[in-house]
Amino acid sequence: MALVFACAFAPCANAQETEIEAEARELTRLRMEFAESRIALQKMRVHYRNCLDQSARDDFEQFIAKEANSNGVIGLHLTRLKESVPVMQPEGRPSPLRLQQLHIEGGGGFYGMHRLLRRIAFYGEFVPDEFATLMLTAGKGAVSFDALVVQACWDESAEISHTPPPPGITVFEAEIATYRVELQEVRSARTTVTQLADRFQPMRLVNALAVVDRDWSPDTVLISEVHFAPRKLTMHGVALGESARSAVVASFRRPGLEETRIDWSVVGACHAFSATTSLGDVPSAKIDPLSKTIFDQRTSEFCNAR
């Protein structure tokens, strides 16, 4: 009778052992995935400076000042915004990244100013940066610019949170629940860092400005203002004659200039335009320093004098 009773409980013992083994395997898998994901996240870290490293911001500002001087940009004024902005993850938690902001103002010839913008974009190869906003305004024989540049840095204090497991569960269940939460947080952080790197493409703006300068310099097209905020680029100007109008339309059909809208109106002998386009992967283009400048504040006088 005792033997029968003992054998009756054998399947329960085996089932219990199988469940424990399954939990152990799941815990091992989660530990390995968490370790691998955490290592992958730390590898991303090498592309960013520590947010507390003030020397990194000093280096960037000195670089801009040097480039502005060598390219004939005058009236350079740099204003460091003290508070950095956290880059949020989809679930609303701060990621390991923060954005440091630098306000840049200056002026000069369009070629020199464009060279400065290109050098700032090139700096992003070493420390990820982007033009958060940019405004170019034609003046008397010069172009003034007002830009807000953001640089991404790594916040060492943004640690993975440790959410306590719910009460009344086994040790295995508690560890599994904890690792699942922390693994999801690491994955979310990796996704956020990857998306930011994909979004930071400052050379798109630089190339777009070069494209329209190359296309419009031979024709009678003048620009008075340019506004940019990722990924929208808006230009205000005038075109004199059918050839100039065609050049404007053709430029905004080039690769990387997407979802363009052009509004036309008559101004004297010209057609004024306001064009807005979304920047994609704009192919590289260069500006001819000897070409006619396309920036001129006297668009109204130019058109009414014809």
Virtual CA dihedral for 129, 134, 140, 142, nearest 10 degrees?
A: 20
DSSP bridge pairs for 134: 147, 228
- Please give the CATH superfamily to which domain 48-157 belongs: Ribosomal protein S6/Translation elongation factor EF1B (3.30.70.60)
Q: Is the pLDDT of residue 125 over 60?
A: yes
Over residues 8-34, mean pLDDT:
72
- pLDDT recorded at residue 101: 96
> In this predicted structure, what is the pLDDT of residue 1?
44
**For residues 220 and 299, what is the distance between their CA atoms, to the nearest angstrom?**
11
pLDDT band at 162; cut points 50, 70, 90: low
278: left (phi over 0), alpha (psi -120 to 50) or beta: beta
* Percent of the chain scoring above 70 in pLDDT: 90
Residues in the chain: 306
234 neighbors 275 (Cβ within 8 angstroms): yes
Closest CA to 223 of 105, 112, 139: 139
63: tokens are 């670089």
Lowest-confidence segment of 23-37, 41-55, 93-107, 287-301 by average pLDDT: 287-301
Nearest residue to 209 via CA among 118, 305, 108: 118
48-157 and 201-306: identical CATH topology: yes
Tens digits of residue pLDDT in 243-297: 999 999 999 999 999 989 999 999 989 999 999 999 999 998 888 776 778 888 7
Name the most confidently modeled range: 71-75, 126-130, 172-176.
Answer: 71-75
Higher pLDDT, 8 or 54: 54
Q: What's the pTM?
A: 0.82
Q: What CATH number should be reported for the domain whose range is 201-306? A: 3.30.70
Mean pLDDT of 177-193: 88
For the record, the structure tokens of 172 come out as: 């295995």
Residue 2 has pLDDT above 50, yes or no: no
- For residue 166, what pLDDT is reported? 67
The b-or-e profile of 30-46 (16+ CB within 10 A means b, else e) is: beeebeebbeebeebee
> Which pLDDT value is given to residue 116?
96
Higher pLDDT, 140 or 48: 48
pLDDT in tens, 140-160: 778 999 999 999 999 988 765
- What the block records as the tokens of 104 is 């840049």
Residue 14 pLDDT > 90: no
Q: Give the domain ranges of the chain.
A: 10-47+168-198, 48-157, 201-306
Q: 285: closest CA among 202, 184, 207, 221?
A: 207
Better-predicted residue by pLDDT, 224 or 82:
224
With cut-offs at 50, 70 and 90, classify the pLDDT of residue 24. confident
Q: Provide the pLDDT for residue 93.
A: 84
